[in-house]
Amino acid sequence: MSTTGAELLNWLLAMPAAERLSYLARLTPAERAEMQHDWRLWARQGQLPPESDWHLWLVMAGRGFGKTRMGAEWVRGVAQSDPSARIALVASSLGEARSVMVEGESGVLPCSPPRRRPRFEPSLRRLIWPNGAIATLYSAAEPDSLRGPQHSHAWCDEIAKWDNASSRAELAWDNMLMGLRLGETPRAMATTTPRAVPLLLRLLAREDVVVTRGRTQDNRANLPQRYIRDIRRSLGSALLARQELDGEMLLDHQGALWSRALLERCREAAASAPPQRLVVGVDPPASAAGDACGIVVVALGDDGIGRVLADATVARAGPERWARAVAETAAHWNADRVVAEANQGGAMVESVLRAASIALPLRLVHATRGKSARAEPVAALYETGRVRHCGQFAALEDQLCGLIAGGGYEGPGRSPDRADACVWALTELMLSPSAGPRIRDL
């Protein structure tokens, strides 16, 4: 029976210290160096490639699990064993392909032993191993760059982060697969933190995809002791922690007004049209004890499309602090108007905001319908492509996906404060009687 690297390592660790040192001392320097770079010795069992005859391998795990190291070591193993290998390295951008997949701390170059380290040619976007194997870097944001080139293997990193505008991520994946036709057993590996984006959902629905799942906690032996605790605290939302740390796929609630796939379709990296009007939506906390104050910045472009530009929500803040945050946000973005819900202590809301900035262009609004009823016409704007998110707003989007048609909220936290602020701002910009383009004062 053959011995795996992990079994050999456990065998060494089980030895008495003196016997282990004696064994290691008998190794030549070359053998010790080889052992140091033998991934099979150091990898956890869940980090090694499937033993089955697989074609597509999806690694879906939390941050810090070791996904990048897994991809780099798999690429290195392929290149060393097959001089004819032609490997595609695909990331969300060429910059990330280089900085993470190639030169990053867990990338191909740092993981390679000096004698077998590939030569990196940045101008040609490629790695060349001493035995002749070649890996080429690609950006998923440029799907046509994958149309034509042929490969025997591919490593696609953070596929849930690829640009989903105009189905660009799926097109890049499809072009990569169509070019995966060299050699007898072409294979593609994808590594990612889960997000309910169309490409990832499509892969999970395939029966021929081998899936490896994992949690940040699984790699605790190789992470700073404070890392897991601090990052879990910084994420705040229990749902977001389950996704980013536990590697869980957060699916949509039945009857939700927003789906994650819808939000991905509405995303763009930056505003593609100049703003004609800009509003800060505010959902003040119901008590001075410190519920979150939702603060969301939305612009109406000269193309008639509303764009969410920023989520400046503050949590556990007293009246003076959240009012100051609203005033600072309005000043920073040169807002035309601040729209704040005044159902809970309208006079108090106005007074604390005026105290923070007497010149604040404030409008108080009163809710006459429930949160979901107010949100439904705004969700319809998303459905018709009239709203976009410029960047990613995880906490806001978790709340939007928790608003249920017909009433109810099943998202994180006690109240959808961020979602409410977003709804108020978009209503003011696009659904109120006064909505429409205006000339801004300079």
Give me the domains of the chain, ranges plus CATH numbers. 43-244 (3.40.50.300), 260-430 (3.30.420.10)
In the sheet that 267-268 helps form, which strands lie side by side, from edge to edge? 267-268, 387-390, 306-311, 294-301, 275-283, 337-341, 362-365
Which pLDDT score is estimated for 21?
A: 73
Stretch 280-289: mean pLDDT, rounded? 81
Single out the residue of 229, 228, 211 nearest to residue 219, CA to CA: 228
Digit-coded pLDDT (tens) for 303-329: 999 999 999 999 888 888 888 999 999
Q: 365: helix, coil or strand?
A: strand
pLDDT given for residue 1 in this prediction = 38
Within 209-277, where are the H helices?
A: 225-235, 238-244, 260-265
Q: How many angstroms from the chain centroid is the CA of residue 226? A: 22
Under the banding of pLDDT at 50, 70 and 90, the label for residue 69 is very high
Which of the two residues, 19 and 297, has the higher pLDDT score?
A: 297
Average pLDDT in the 157-172 region?
Answer: 88
Instruction: With cut-offs at 50, 70 and 90, classify the pLDDT of residue 300.
Output: very high
Burial of 72 (0-12, 13-18, 19+ CB in 10 A): buried
Residue 442 pLDDT greater than 50, yes or no: no
Percent of the residues in the chain that have a pLDDT greater than 90, as a whole number:
51
pLDDT tens-digit series, residues 266-282? 988 889 999 999 999 99
Cβ pair 332, 295 in contact under 8 A? no
Q: What tokens were used for 169?
A: 């991520």
d(CA 331, CA 295): 13
pLDDT of residue 409: 85
In sign, the C-alpha dihedral spanning 242, 423, 420, 333 is: positive
Enter the pTM of the model: 0.63
**What are the residues whose beta carbons fall under 8 Å from the beta carbon of 142, sequence distance 6 or more?**
172
> For the chain, how big is the Rg over CA atoms in Å?
26
Q: Two tokens at 197?
A: 């984006």
CB atoms within 10 A of CB 246: 17
Give 8-67 pLDDT, tens digit per residue.
Answer: 666 776 778 777 777 777 877 776 766 777 777 777 878 889 988 899 999 999 888 999
Q: For residues 371 and 389, what is the distance between their CA atoms, to the nearest angstrom?
A: 21
Residue from 402, 405, 382 nearest 239 by CA: 402
H or E element that contains 24: helix 17-25
Phi, then psi, of 13 in degrees rounded to 5: -70, -25
Q: Which residue has the tokens 């790699």?
A: 219
Reply yes or no on whether the pLDDT at 365 is more than 70: yes
Other Cβ atoms closer than 10 A to 9? 16
pLDDT tens digits for range 378-393: 999 999 999 999 988 9
Short-list 132, 103, 108, 128, CA closest to 118:
128
* Residue 52 amino acid letter: S
Under the banding of pLDDT at 50, 70 and 90, the label for residue 232 is: low
How many residues are present in the chain?
A: 442
Q: pLDDT of 399-413, one tens digit each? A: 999 899 877 887 777
Instruction: Pick 243 or 6 by higher pLDDT.
Output: 243
CA distance 10 to 129: 31
| CA 239 – CA 216 distance, rounded (Å) | 15
For the cut 80, the answer to whether the pLDDT of residue 359 exceeds it is: no
Q: Which of 286, 417, 283, 423 is nearest to 344 (CA)?
A: 286
- In percent, the amount of the chain with pLDDT more than 70 equals 89
The one-character DSSP state at 177 is H
Return the half-sphere exposure (C-beta side, CA atoms, 13 A cut-off) of residue 284.
31
The CA-atom distances, in angstroms, between 362 and each of 226, 318, 358 are 43, 19, 10
Predicted local distance difference test score (pLDDT) of residue 221: 79
Beta strand spans in 215-331 (E):
267-268, 275-283, 294-301, 306-311
Q: Which residue has the higher pLDDT, 309 or 240?
A: 309
- 307 three-state secondary structure: strand
